[in-house]
Amino acid sequence: MTALGLSLALAALGAAAPEVHISLAGRTDAARAIALALPPFIAEDPQRGADALLAKELRAVTRDDLLSSRSFTVLEDGPHFDGANLKDIVPPWKARLAGCLLVAKVGNGAKLSLSAQLVDLGSGETLFERYYRQGAAFPRSLAHRLADDLVLTLTGKNGVAHTMIAFANDSTGHKEISLMDYDGANRRKLTTYGSISLLPRFSPDRKALVFTSYKDGNPDLFRMDLATGKIESLSADQGLNIAGGYSPDGTQLLMTLSRQKSPNLYVKSLTDGSVSRLTQHFGADSSPTFSPDAVQVAFVSDRSGNPQIHILDMTTQRVRRLTNLNWCDSPSWSPTGEWIAFAGRAHNKDKMDIFLVDITGNQIRQLTHGEGANENPGWSPDGRYLAFTSTRNGRGELFVMDADGSAPHRLADIPGNTSTPTWSD
């Protein structure tokens, strides 16, 4: 079900544009990928089997993170690091045409630790030395932090290995909010209300998650502190209370409120708690998302007939329509600002697919093509990937694809039906 459909359903409980093919940043060309030598990580105490297994696990996670970034080729067939032979293994790795070499040591004392050194094999210069230390609850995050530091050091771009995805799932028989790492690992349930909870949104600092829940009988809006699990009510007006998106500085939250009437757009100041109305439409305005500079808001409205993507200028309050398909829903503004992803269909009998539209409305690209119903697109914080849901395997599952529509793949085998994913910064 589309987000607009969900809005209307929750409220009840309480001529196509031409396709223009465009070029988007997606997969890294193999010729431009960085060749990274990655010998096995070593354990500080190799006599302890648990330490050796942990070193193997963290190295595997780091490897997967680097390959997922599409910025590296990983070279593995070469001499091992033993903790003292770094100078000896540099020449043979260089002979294998590696550009850089990463060596790492893992400790498993009172806290987990990971020390790493990255060497430029051309100059022999050490590009960085890092030491990571944390509690034992989530060991994979050590590898994620290392991978993102590697991506930033060698490409100048922020990585996404440390990010998370939140989503709704009904495997318990009720829609509950769950959270997992960007790669599908460490899946955990955040709510157990035995009700309907959905449409989560991360705060920019990743410390909180807002979501709508029927746990008290009305679709109210709550905020959860992810460190403590404590929740507070943000909006409990009679009728719909649904989060749109945070402003980049985290001080404002877009909302869809019905207040017992048609859904319209509002913005809540999280500094003083004040709420301002943005639209006054007799039909349905919903699913607002901020532009990266928070100057504009993309949203869905049926004011022109069927639901279409519109843009509201926050300064002038002027609204302009971007799309002219049969149905549009769930806009998500790209972190770089040029594109808005959305779910839609060109013709009435089509299944829902994922599209992109540029901010002029002149360029539209269809990214999925009828492989089940594809909905709820959400950008990775670097703008290179899109998470979305798809029924191509017979039920709602979480997929990720490159921003140009290539390499779609199921992220994890999650029981039940998954919907409304959102990606953290």
pLDDT of residue 3: 52
pLDDT score of 23 more than 70: no
- Give pLDDT, residue 110: 84
Write down the pLDDT at residue 31.
Answer: 54
Q: Domain locations in the chain?
A: 3-21+164-423, 33-155
Q: What is the pLDDT of residue 304?
A: 86
Q: What is the per-residue pLDDT for 18?
A: 33
**pLDDT confidence of residue 219:** 97
Give which of 394, 387, 389, 403 is closest to 181, Cα–Cα.
Answer: 387
Q: What is the mean pLDDT of the chain?
A: 92
Question: Residue 27 above 70 pLDDT?
Answer: no
pLDDT of residue 26: 43
Quick one: average pLDDT of 384-401? 97
Provide the pLDDT for residue 20.
Answer: 32
What pTM, to 2 d.p., does this model score? Answer: 0.90
The pLDDT score that the predictor gives to residue 4 is 59
Interval 220-249: pLDDT, tens: 999 999 999 999 999 999 999 999 999 999
CATH architecture of 3-21+164-423: 6 Propeller (2.120)
Average pLDDT over residues 355-368: 97
Please say if the pLDDT value at position 342 is more than 70: yes
Instruction: Indicate whether 362 pLDDT > 50.
Output: yes
- What average pLDDT does this structure show over 120-126? 96
* Cα distance between residue 203 and residue 232, in whole Å: 14
Predicted confidence band at 30 (pLDDT cuts at 50, 70, 90)?
low
Superfamily of domain 33-155 in the CATH hierarchy: TolB, N-terminal domain (3.40.50.10070)
Which phi and psi (to 5°) does residue 324 adopt? -145, 50
Distance CA 42, CA 23 (A): 42
| Residue whose C-alpha is closest to residue 420's, from 212, 188, 187, 265 | 212
E strand or H helix at 355:
strand 353-358
Q: Which amino acid does the sequence have at 29?
A: D
